């Protein structure tokens, strides 16, 4: 059996009992280590699970999956995934490859950013399509995400923006020369994401996003509890100008607030606002939604 096991969002104790039993029964256990990160090192996981973990980087998961699937038709093999197994299309591809080889698969679910984002107080059923935002370069600024944000905005729905991470990435020069030299890990921050969003709005000019009139919520280390998790909300301009340290350690996520804003959502998020007065004022004047406490 190939098990694909969600680890949740925080530390070694977030694994489910069903997932832990599968890990303990496995002859090999891989830790997928590039689509997301946990808040602890793999040594903590190994000590808790009682198993050695094999780090599975992008190359292994995407181009060397045969090694992960080796003997999985006669032995239990586990692939551990931060969050939920279906949080990234990479893991769907792994399941399809296993099926093609007639290897039985079993999915063990866990919390992911897709549902834990509700901690900011915005109702999950008011979210539309989620989008990913990659690091821009001088020559590469993909903007297809903007169309999804606009579609959500036209329906009044919130948009979860997943921010880019670069783990075990090569520079263009090293990649071209075939040198296995990797860049230091990089994690996109809320202010950087907002800057890129405003840059694309300036190019598209559809009025979907406004620095002063669009509300957003920045979150970090979601699911990590009060000692780790941070929530900061305000206009895009306020989040862009806010000190990056105030958003906490990576990983960061961003929610663009849609017009179907409910008074209870406004009220819940007020405690996290850069400026409570601005948050309430824009919610009422632009979104037509006052806090239930006003």
Tens digits of per-residue pLDDT, 24-56? 999 999 998 777 778 888 899 999 999 999 988
Count of Cβ atoms closer than 10 Å to residue 206 Cβ: 13
57 is in an annotated binding site: no
**Measured at the alpha carbon of residue 242, what is the angle toward residues 241 and 243, in degrees to the nearest 5?**
115
Is the pLDDT at 267 greater than 90? The verdict is: yes
101 is in an annotated binding site: no
Q: Please give the Cα distance from 45 to 31 (Å, whole number).
A: 10
Residue 288: how many CB atoms within 10 A of its CB? 9
Asked whether the beta carbons of 128 and 149 are under 8 A apart, the reply is: no
> How many Å separate Cα 218 from the centre of its chain?
12
Peptide bond just before 251 cis, omega within 30 deg: yes
Q: Has 222 been labeled as part of a binding site?
A: yes
> Is 252 annotated as contributing to ligand binding?
yes
Cα dihedral: 113, 117, 119, 122 (round 10) = -170
* Parallel/antiparallel/unpaired status of strands 28-32 and 54-56: parallel
Is there a contact between 275 and 241 (Cβ–Cβ < 8 Å)? no
Q: Which domains are seen in the chain, by residue range? A: 2-111 (3.40.1010.10), 114-287 (3.30.950.10)
Question: What is the Cα–Cα distance from 104 to 73, expressed in whole angstroms?
Answer: 7
CA-based nearest residue to 238, from 204, 281, 268:
281
The Cα 183–Cα 164 span in angstroms is 15
**Strand (E) or helix (H) holding 17:** helix 17-25
Radius of gyration, CA atoms only, the chain: 21
Between residues 150 and 294, which one has the greater pLDDT? 150
Q: Are 11 and 84 in contact (CB under 8 A)?
A: no
Say which residues have a Cβ less than 8 Å from residue 56's Cβ, sequence separation at least 6.
30, 31, 32, 33, 68, 79
Q: What is the DSSP letter of 44?
A: H
User: Is pLDDT of 243 > 90?
Assistant: yes
pLDDT for the residue 44: 93
- Closest CA relative to residue 5, chosen from 30, 37, 35, 42: 30
The total number of residues shown for the chain amounts to 294
Integer Cα distance of 138 and 145 in angstroms: 18
Q: Do residues 87 and 36 make contact, with C-beta atoms less than 8 angstroms apart?
A: yes
Model confidence over 159-175: pLDDT tens digits?
Answer: 999 999 887 666 667 66
The answer to whether the annotation marks 19 as part of a ligand binding site is: no
Kindly tell me if the per-residue pLDDT of 117 is higher than 60. Answer: yes
> Is 272's pLDDT higher than 70?
yes
Q: What is the mean pLDDT of the chain?
A: 92
């Amino acid at each position: 059996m190939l098990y694909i096991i969600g680890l949740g969002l925080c530390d070694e104790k977030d694994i489910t009992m069903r997932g832990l039993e599968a890990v303990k029964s496995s002859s090999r256990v891989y830790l997928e280590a590039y689509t997301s990160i946990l808040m602890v090192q793999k040594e903590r996981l190994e000590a808790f699970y009682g198993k050695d973990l094999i780090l599975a980087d992008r190359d292994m998961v995407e181009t060397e999956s045969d090694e992960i699937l080796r003997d999985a038709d006669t032995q239990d093999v586990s692939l551990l995934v931060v969050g939920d197994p279906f949080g990234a299309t990479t893991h769907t591809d792994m399941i399809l490859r296993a099926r093609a080889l007639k290897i039985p698969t079993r999915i063990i679910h866990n919390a992911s950013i897709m549902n834990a984002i509700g901690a900011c107080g915005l109702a999950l059923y008011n979210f539309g399509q989620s989008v990913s935002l990659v690091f821009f370069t001088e020559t590469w600024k993909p903007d297809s995400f903007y169309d999804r944000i606009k579609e959500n905005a036209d329906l009044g729905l919130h948009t979860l923006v997943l921010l880019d991470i670069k783990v075990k990435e090569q520079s263009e020069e090293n990649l071209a020369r075939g040198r296995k030299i990797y860049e230091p890990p990089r994690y996109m921050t809320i202010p950087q994401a907002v800057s890129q969003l405003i840059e694309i709005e300036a190019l598209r000019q559809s009025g979907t996003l406004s620095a002063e009139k669009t509300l957003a919520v920045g979150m970090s280390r979601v699911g990590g509890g009060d000692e780790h998790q941070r929530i900061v909300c305000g206009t895009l301009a306020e989040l862009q100008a806010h000190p990056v340290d105030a958003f906490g350690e990576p990983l960061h996520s961003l929610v663009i607030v849609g017009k179907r804003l409910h008074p209870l959502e406004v009220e819940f998020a007020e405690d996290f606002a850069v400026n409570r007065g601005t948050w309430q004022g824009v919610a009422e004047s632009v979104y037509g939604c006052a806090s239930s406490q006003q």
